[in-house]
Amino acid sequence: MRIENLVYLIGGELKSSPCVSEIKGFSFDSNSIKRGELFFAKNKKDINQAVQNGAYAVLFEGWTQITDSEIAWIKVENIEIAALKLLRFFLIQKSIPIFKLSSVEYNIAKELSNDKDILFIKKDFIKALIDFFKKDVKLILISDTDSLKRLSLDYNTPKISKKVNIIKTYIFETSFIYDNIFYERVYISPIFIEEFNRVLNLLEERFVEFNLKNIEKLDHFKPYFIDNRFSLKEFGKSDKVIIIENDYTLLEKERSFLESDAKWAKKIYISDKKTKGFIFEKRFDKIKEILYNEHFNFALIAKKDLKLEDLEIKKTYKSLF
């Protein structure tokens, strides 16, 4: 892209008279930047390294020392907005279809798909712009409503044209037929089967490669089978399960599902945000105390950065001395 066009497009101010006339890509990593690329100076301490490694342009806010007058130094009021304007320009130019997904659909697509075919946009426009140039993008997926509004581009929502026919459901798995193929006990809870169905249809219709086995990596309603010491067991090899959820908007839906589909089970619900039907507790030591002192089959827990290993009861060994 020619530097004069780039400066005009983002409403920037060229602070040097460069010998170079165009840039070949974008980067915000001063160590991996390639010769001819523009450097987004999120951290001004990295500028010298980026210039030494071959940056042809530096995009910055405020003031910075111009150390090489042969390259382009472009001042902007906001780096993120500059990246947004560039991204919008390239998306319009390429006419790639954009789809608005729910957070669950977005994460399902991220796990199932071959990442090189899809541009996933989630708030960070600089990263999205750089990823756009690294991939052969067939499809753009966005879950963040604010990002979609800021891009101000037309978009679609996924529809179900080919139905997943459910054969049998379990708490954390579903057996189904899709496209005349039988899939047995796939690691997708039936509470997400509609979102799963929409994503399958979307990826197939847009000729994006996907792998159903990858769905087991999905972080929503994630089960961890444990023993009495809270040590991890193989899937299905225990009647005691910790379920971790980081999306608080899903908690009531997940609680209702457990209440209706696991009536036989003893259940505990804990959240560090006030949620109907959940024990409200922010302190990790108190959460541990509840789990250690109560009998349960399922414990649905919503707490940021909760790690199963932090719950494990460590073995103690007696000293010989």
Q: Tens of pLDDT along 167-193?
A: 999 999 999 999 999 999 999 999 999
pLDDT band at residue 308 under the 50/70/90 scheme: confident
Q: DSSP H helical segments within the chain, as ranges?
A: 3-10, 47-52, 79-94, 103-112, 125-134, 145-151, 193-205, 251-261, 284-293
pLDDT band at residue 194 under the 50/70/90 scheme: very high
pLDDT recorded at residue 312: 87
Q: Which of 247, 223, 251, 248 is nearest to 308 (CA)?
A: 223
CATH hierarchy code of domain 3-77? 3.40.1390.10
Cα separation, 173 vs 212, whole angstroms: 12
Q: Tens of pLDDT along 8-43?
A: 999 999 999 999 999 999 999 999 999 999 999 999
pLDDT recorded at residue 116: 81
> Which amino acid makes up residue 223?
P
The pLDDT of 289-295, averaged and rounded, is 94
Q: Tens of pLDDT along 41-64?
A: 999 999 999 999 999 999 999 999
Q: Which two tokens stand for residue 243?
A: 């379920």
Domain boundaries, the chain: 3-77, 79-84+95-218, 222-310
The pLDDT of 162-166, averaged and rounded, is 96
Mean pLDDT of the chain: 93
Q: DSSP H helical segments within 164-219, as ranges?
A: 193-205
Q: Tens of pLDDT along 216-259?
A: 999 999 999 999 999 999 999 999 999 999 999 999 999 999 99
Does pLDDT of 315 surpass 80? no
Say which residues have a Cβ less than 8 Å from residue 216's Cβ, sequence separation at least 6. 187
pLDDT band at residue 306 under the 50/70/90 scheme: confident
% of the chain beyond a pLDDT of 90: 85
pLDDT band at residue 317 under the 50/70/90 scheme: very low
% of the chain beyond a pLDDT of 70: 98
Cα angle 272-274-275, degrees, rounded to a multiple of 5 = 105
Does pLDDT of 319 surpass 60? no
37-40 sheet: strands from edge to edge: 13-14, 72-75, 57-60, 37-40, 25-27
Tokens 């108190």 correspond to 286
Q: Which two tokens stand for residue 213?
A: 């086995």
pLDDT recorded at residue 316: 52
